[in-house]
Structure 1
Amino acid sequence: MIRMQRLIPTGDPARPVEFTEDAQPVPAPDEALIRVEAFAPNRGETFLLERPEPGLMPGKDVAGLVVQAAADGSGPRVGTRVVGHPPRGGWAEYAAVPTHSLAELPDSLSAVDAAALPLAGITALRLLRTAGSVTGRRMLVTGASGGVGHYVTELAAAAGAEVTVVTATPSRAERLRALGAATAVHAVAGARGPFDVVLESTGGADLPVALSKLAAGGTLIWFGQASRTPATLDFFDLLSGPEGAVIRHFHYAGPNAGPNAGPNAGPTYGRDLATLVRLVHNGRLHPEIGRTADWSKTAETLVDLRERRIRGKAVLTTGVVS
């Protein structure tokens, strides 16, 4: 049995993970074994670490090298550089990743930049796919300082949307303007609507305020609760608000979010990952990485990510470079 290093939860919010020795994963027939060079934690994962369930193995955004091809013949060959979105277990030296959730990397794209793409990038692509054509439409993006917000802003602006972002600080507002935002405000109440589309990810008191900013017939897509505070909607306020407004709940792995949308569509990510890689390679999408560190600094990085001290994505490197 081949052994390796893996990060596992501790249950201690001040130091959420620690190293342990574990068996190298044995891939299923449709999985490739990836030697992980870089991985990117997501803020949602930091919340799971506060009260980890037994057997939790975090890690859904990885980049590295294929060291064992899938036994069923699908996916990339040994020696191929890839980005992947495994269902679990990516914070380790090796990860088994379904081949339908891998995309090959060009030489122009580093493992660090690639690792910043999967969850945030796939979410951004699928949010915009759910919103429909955004060309010429006014869009409001709350919680825009995170990885999803950066990708959505750049993609929507490039598609011709007039994007207003909500972000906490002047420096983050400046960066989002550079990515194409037309307007940046520091509170949802300060956004000057009406908006055709609202992408809402903070929940709490912000959601009803964001809803009130919709134009008649507009759509609010709710995809997160970063405030960690439940939202309360007053039915009478809703009736007196924008006529014909639509509220949609969104999850990036939902059956109607992916490129093969439909009631029987599964959570496959390879096509979206390939799209993201192509956009970065062509200079049309720019991963926003607020911190890169050795994975020995993962615990500290997770705390800073949870407490919103990192702009955009954080990426940890294992010290292995192909």
Structure 2
Amino acid sequence: MQAFTRTDGRDPLVVFTDRELPNPEPNQALVGVAAYSVNRSEIYALQKPVPDIPGEDIAGQVIVGAADGTGPRPGQRIVAHLPSGGWARYAAVNTADLAVLPDYIAYSVAAALPLDGITAIRLSRIAGRLISRRVLITGGSGRAANYFIELAAGAGAEVTVVSATPEQGRRFIELGADMVIADASSAAGTFDLVLDSAGGTSVPSVLAHLAPNGTLIWLRNASHEPVPLDLFTRPDNAKIRYFDRTDLTPPFGPDLTTLVALVATGRLHPEIGRLKDWAATPSILAELRDRRIVGSAVLTLSQGLKHALALDLTPGSGPGRSAHLG
């Protein structure tokens, strides 16, 4: 089968190669990939010797159901989050880490959901009850933060977002934010929940705006600056938590099912900044690395499902053999 595999860390970061068809474990379905999204975190993973075939977020169609009888049947459309192997015509996917996709949600839309959507869902669980709570978000340009803004606003929170540009600010208002400010220091009043991904010198500023019994969730240090933090000055009973999105634990299927339902009911709107044929993956990676893409970068496989549905599954030609595959 055709797949993108990593190079030596120099441009291009990935190249087309021929690989064996995945041989699924009993709890895995063989999926014909129709679309996948590319995450910035995957660029850093490409500097490592494994995995050979990258790719975490895919949408496609089940070609062979799991041998243990779990998960969807052949022919059903799915969206999935997997450790690796998604940038290929076929992928082996744990049935616990996928969700069935209705016909009216496009593969390209679904492929933009998994990593950032799962992150937003799990942040919402940490945040707890959001109705009538005041929420401050810094570094909100990330896709996970955008999903969280929409979820929090839909749950009845009053959301303030720090934005570096008017264009971003308008997008946050469209997602449901009540107020957009240029700097965290100009925030008015205190907040029950603060999500900070800017890091650096912004952390003491947002901590000063945390209400007693409030929670500060620290996502990352996008500024790459040291954090001058004095824990003795935090508000009474305030909690500070670090959320590591690189350490999300499975199963992912239940969260993906929730995300699909939110999209289906119009409560979540994935933003696609690039939609290209998968042959453009190397150039898309360069654009992501240089921060030239706003929203999700989604690649679609030309003739992908046509190849998959024509897969010869007669004895001796099933998973593990690749003679009949494009």
TM-score by length of 2: 0.88
Q: Which residue identity is paired with 2:235?
A: P
For structure 1, the 5+ residue unaligned runs are 258-265
1:313 corresponds to which residue? 296
Out of 2, 7, 10, the residue aligned to residue 10 of structure 1 is 7
Out of 208, 214, 220, the residue aligned to residue 218 of structure 1 is 214
2:253 corresponds to which residue? 270
Alpha-carbon separation, structure 2, partners of 1:206 and 1:308: 21
Alpha-carbon separation, structure 2, partners of 1:151 and 1:187: 21
Once the two structures are TM-superposed, the CA of residue 14 in structure 1 deviates from its matched residue by 4.1
1:262 corresponds to which residue? none
2:314 corresponds to which residue? none
Alpha-carbon separation, structure 2, partners of 1:65 and 1:160: 36
Is 1:292–2:269 an aligned residue pair? Answer: no
Once the two structures are TM-superposed, the CA of residue 252 in structure 1 deviates from its matched residue by 4.9
Moved more, 10-19 or 126-135: 10-19
SS for the counterpart of 1:40 is strand
Is 1:126–2:113 an aligned residue pair? Answer: no
Alpha-carbon separation, structure 2, partners of 1:317 and 1:275: 24
Once the two structures are TM-superposed, the CA of residue 186 in structure 1 deviates from its matched residue by 3.4
Once the two structures are TM-superposed, the CA of residue 213 in structure 1 deviates from its matched residue by 2.3
Is 1:173–2:174 an aligned residue pair? Answer: no
1:145 corresponds to which residue? 141
Written as runs of structure 1 = structure 2, the 5 A alignment for 1:3-42 is 4-42=1-39
Once the two structures are TM-superposed, the CA of residue 43 in structure 1 deviates from its matched residue by 1.4
Alpha-carbon separation, structure 1, partners of 2:42 and 2:225: 19
Out of 93, 107, 129, the residue aligned to residue 103 of structure 2 is 107
- Number of equivalences: 305
Per-residue CA deviations over 1:216-246 (Å, capped at 9, x if unaligned) read 221111223334x2542433xx312423221
SS for the counterpart of 2:123 is helix
Alpha-carbon separation, structure 1, partners of 2:18 and 2:253: 30
Is 1:279–2:276 an aligned residue pair? Answer: no
Per-residue CA deviations over 1:264-307 (Å, capped at 9, x if unaligned) read xx610111111111111111111111111111111221122222
| Seq. identity, % | 49
Q: Which structure's CA Rg is the greater one?
A: 2
Once the two structures are TM-superposed, the CA of residue 171 in structure 1 deviates from its matched residue by 1.4
1:157 corresponds to which residue? 153
In structure 2, relative to structure 1, the CA distance for the partners of 1:71 and 1:178 (3 Å cut) is same
SS for the counterpart of 1:296 is helix
Residues 26 and 68 in structure 2, CA contact (< 8 A), matched pair in contact too: yes
In structure 2, relative to structure 1, the CA distance for the partners of 1:55 and 1:85 (3 Å cut) is closer
Q: CA RMSD in A?
A: 1.9
Q: Which residue identity is paired with 2:131?
A: T
2:229 corresponds to which residue? 234
Residues 293 and 316 in structure 1, CA contact (< 8 A), matched pair in contact too: yes
Q: Which residue identity is paired with 2:269?
A: H
Once the two structures are TM-superposed, the CA of residue 253 in structure 1 deviates from its matched residue by 7.6
Alpha-carbon separation, structure 2, partners of 1:71 and 1:164: 48
1:47 corresponds to which residue? 44
Per-residue CA deviations over 1:63-95 (Å, capped at 9, x if unaligned) read 001011100000000001100111111111111
Once the two structures are TM-superposed, the CA of residue 56 in structure 1 deviates from its matched residue by 4.6
- What stretches of structure 1 move > 6 A for 4+ residues in a row? none
Alpha-carbon separation, structure 2, partners of 1:9 and 1:187: 39
Residues 51 and 84 in structure 2, CA contact (< 8 A), matched pair in contact too: no
Moved more, 303-312 or 169-178: 303-312
